Structure 1
Amino acid sequence: MFSAIDADIRLGSGLGIFQLGSSLWTVLDLLRSHQHTFPHVDVKYDPDSPTTPVILYLRPHFDLLFSGHHQRLHTICVRRLRDPHFPLTLLYKDKVLSSPDTELRRVGVNLAFGPTYPGNDLRYPGVWFSFEDEGLSDGLKAAASPSEDRMQQVKRVLISQIGFDGGQRDALDEVDECPVMHGELAEAIAKVHDGVVLRFYPKESEPVHVHLGVTTAQDLACELGPPLRIFYKEDDHFYNYFQYGIDFLISDVTHIVKKIILHTNAPGSPLFQRYKRCPWQIEGRPEDDEDDSPPRVKFYDRVDTISHFLSPGETPPSMLFDRTDEEAALTLPSSTTRLLGFDGIILEAASSSQVVSVTLF
Structure 2
Amino acid sequence: MFSALDIDLRPGEGFGVFQIGTSLWTLLDALRRHPYTYPQVDIKYDPDASAVTPIVVHVRPHLDLVFSGKQQRLHTICIRKLRDPNPPITVRYQGNILSSPDHVLRRVDVSKVFGPTYPGDELRYPGVWFSFDEDRIAEGLKVPHTEDRTQEVKRIIISQIDTEGKEHGALDEVEECSAMAGELMRAVIKVHDGVTLYFSPSKTSSPLHIRIGETTAQDLQLDLGPPIHVHYKDDERMKIHASITASEPDEGTGYFYNYFQYGLDFLISETTHIVRKIVIHTNVPGSPLFQRYKRCNWEIEGKPEDDEDDTPPRKRFFDRFETISHFLSPRAPPPSMSLDRTADEDSLQLPNATTHLHGYDGIILEATDSSQIVSITLF
TM range (shorter): over 0.9
Distance 2:85 2:206 in 1: 51
C-alpha distance in 2 between matches for 1:333 and 1:289: 47
Counterpart code for 1:174: E
Residue equivalent to 2:115: 114
Which is worse superposed, 254-263 or 230-239? 230-239
Q: Distance in 2 between matches of 1:108 and 1:315?
A: 62
Q: Which residue of 2 aligns with 1:222?
A: 222
Aligned to 2:44: 44
- Is contact 1:124-1:167 (8 Å) kept? no
The question of 1:132 aligning with 2:133 is answered: yes
Structure 1 match to 2:105: 104
Q: Could you say which residue in structure 2 is the equivalent of 1:185?
A: 184
**How far 1:32 sits from its partner (Å)?**
1.2
User: Could you list the runs of 5+ residues in structure 1 that have no partner in the other structure?
Assistant: none
Secondary structure class of the residue paired with 2:262:
coil
Mapped contact 2:232–2:256 kept (Cα < 8 A): yes
Matches within 5 A, 1:180-329: 180-204=179-203, 205-234=205-234, 235-329=253-347
Moved more, 310-319 or 189-198: 310-319
Distance, in Å, in 1 between the alignment partners of 2:232 and 2:62 is 43
Q: Which amino acid aligns with 1:242?
A: F
Q: Which residue in the other structure is 2:143 paired with?
A: 141
Q: How many residues align structurally?
A: 358
1:238-293 CA distance string (max 9 Å, x none): 00000000000000000000000000000000000000000010110111111111
Q: Shift in Å at residue 166 of structure 1?
A: 2.3
| Cα distance in 1, alignment partners of residues 202 and 299 from structure 2 | 16
Amino acid at match of 1:187: R
Q: Structure 2 CA distance, aligned partners of 1:39 and 1:60? A: 10
Provide the rounded CA distance (Å) in 1 between the counterparts of 2:353 and 2:156.
38
1:95 paired to 2:96: yes
The answer to which of 172-181 and 133-142 deviates more is: 133-142
C-alpha separation between the residues in 1 aligned to 2:96 and 2:43? 32
Cross-structure match for 2:69: 68
Q: For 1:248 and 1:42, locate their aligned partners in 2 and report how far apart those are by CA, in whole Å.
A: 32
* Farther off after superposition, 101-110 or 157-166: 157-166
In structure 1, how many angstroms separate the alpha carbons of the residues matched to 2:209 and 2:163? 34
Deviation at 1:34, TM superposition (A): 1.6
Q: Structure 2 CA distance, aligned partners of 1:221 and 1:168?
A: 40
SS at the partner of 2:277?
A: strand
Residue in structure 2 matched with residue 59 of structure 1 by the alignment? 60
User: TM-score, with normalisation over the residues of structure 1?
Assistant: 0.97
Give the residue type in structure 2 aligned to 1:336. Answer: T
Identity of aligned residues (%): 61
After TM superposition, the runs of 4+ consecutive aligned structure 1 residues lying more than 6 A away are: none
C-alpha separation in 1, matches of 2:55 and 2:95? 31
Measured after TM superposition, the shift of residue 140 of structure 1 is 4.5
Question: How much is the aligned-residue C-alpha RMSD, in angstroms?
Answer: 1.0
Q: CA shift at 1:137, angstroms?
A: 2.4
- Which residue among 334, 347, 351 is the counterpart of 2:365? 347
Q: For the residues of structure 1 that align with 2:374 and 2:81, how far apart are their CA atoms? A: 37
**Aligned pairs for 1:146-165 within 5 A:** 149-165=148-164
Q: After superposing the two structures, state which structure 1 stretch, 32-41 or 335-344, moved more.
A: 32-41
Secondary structure class of the residue paired with 1:190:
strand
Which ranges of structure 2 fall in alignment gaps of 5 or more residues? 235-252
- 1:329 Cα deviation (Å)? 1.5
- Which letter maps to 2:178? P
Alignment of 1:156-175 (within 5 A): 156-175=155-174
Q: Give the drift of 1:7.
A: 1.0
| Contact kept in structure 1, 2:61 and 2:86, CA below 8 Å | no
Tell me, yes or no, if structure 1 residue 28 matches structure 2 residue 28: yes
SS in 1 for 2:315: strand
**TM-score in terms of structure 2 length:** 0.93
